Amino acid sequence: MRIVSLVTLLAITCTAFAQPAEYVCRQVDAPPMLDGSLDDACWGAAPEPPAFYRLGVGADEAPAQTRVRFVMDDEALYVSVDADTREGEVPEAPQRERDGKVWNDPGVELFFSTSFVDDTYYQMLFNSAGSYADFREAPGLSPQEKAAWNPDWQVVTETREGGWSAEARIPWAAFGLEGAPPKGWVFRTRVGSHAQSLGNSMWPLNESTGFHNPRCWAYLVMRDRNLATNPGLEDGPREGGGAPDGWQFAYHDEEGTGEITISDEQAASGQYAARLEKFDDKQYFPVLYVQPLDVQPGSTYVI
């Protein structure tokens, strides 16, 4: 008895649970040159920026939009900002010392939480003149202890009539990480914007009037929503046979015999499919598995 099943595997993957407010931070081969001009190819290939909203319950989209994008490589997280201010005016901000009151100027505030099981988060601010501040927020920390967090990060800004732009580079070490987060890892994030006379705004929607609302978070998804490697068999069959990258073949003569191959024939979707040919009527085998995946403590996944 032979049973043949051709299976495309685009949907048989493990993904981080997607909240409405999220941004996929793509991996790039060539990081941006920090000059504030936003003309690097990586920004054009990044997902579209999310909308910013006024603060408060029932708020609508901000009249002065701030367009923020994220990309990453093995060394750092990169952030671009393209912010509108009052039409016809070039935004002005003073040069301030580190950890100065840049929140009084046209600028943005970045918030990052690297864990779902820890109340610690990081606040990184800069104004349109390139002055910046950084604070680590955690229960029980004094103002001096919060300001003592001084990671090695860079930001470059450029002003124009009616707005300003910026590029920032934040090494993973700034968050206490030894390297880049794995595929599918999630940072909680939010971004606040100061447009002075046009008011403050934020992504995601913040029903509080303050930027530190603990219930206001979006998700920054690293590289891809899908944790699996080669989830749709995009790489095709392995040269010389055997399971393709990201997958395992399993056989067990006592519980069923058969054969698994990767084929570009009769693929219902995508270019490749897995062909499972069963040689008997016993249960279970052969079986195709994804290889073990790194999952994030405190996060939620769907299959």
For 234-247, the DSSP string reads: TT-SPTTSSPPTTE
Whether residue 15 is predicted with pLDDT greater than 90 in this model: the reply is no
Whether residue 1 is predicted with pLDDT greater than 60 in this model: the reply is no
Whether residue 158 is predicted with pLDDT greater than 80 in this model: the reply is yes
The pLDDT assigned to 163 comes to 97
Q: What percent of the chain has pLDDT over 90?
A: 78
**Chain-wide mean pLDDT for the chain?**
91
| pTM of the entire predicted model | 0.88
Contact at 8 Å (CB) between 71 and 157? no
* 264-271: long-range contacts, CB 8 A cutoff, minimum separation 24: 264/236, 265/6, 266/6, 267/6, 267/8, 268/6, 268/8, 269/8, 269/10, 270/8, 270/10, 270/232, 270/233, 270/234, 271/233, 271/234, 271/236
The pLDDT assigned to 4 comes to 54
Q: Specify the range with the lowest mean pLDDT, choosing from 7-21, 45-59, 229-243, 266-280.
A: 7-21
Range(s) of the chain covered by CATH 2.60.40.1190:
19-222
SS3 143: helix
Query: How is domain 19-222 classified at the CATH fold level?
Result: Immunoglobulin-like (2.60.40)
- pLDDT tens digits for 81-128? 999 999 999 999 999 999 999 999 999 999 999 999 999 999 999 999
Whether residue 217 is predicted with pLDDT greater than 80 in this model: the reply is yes
Q: Which residues contact 142 (CB under 8 A, 6 or more apart)?
A: none
Task: Tell me which amino acid residue 300 is.
Answer: T
- pLDDT tens digits for 233-289? 999 999 888 899 999 999 999 999 999 999 888 888 889 999 899 999 988 899 999
The pLDDT assigned to 294 comes to 86
Output the CA–CA distances (angstroms, integers) from residue 220 to 89, 177, 191, 207, in the order listed.
33, 16, 11, 20
> Region 36-63: what's the mean pLDDT?
96
DSSP β-ladder status, 66-72 and 22-27: parallel
Q: Please tell me the distance from the alpha carbon of residue 149 to that of residue 272, in angstroms, as a whole number.
A: 49
Whether residue 156 is predicted with pLDDT greater than 60 in this model: the reply is yes
Q: What percent of the chain has pLDDT over 70?
A: 93
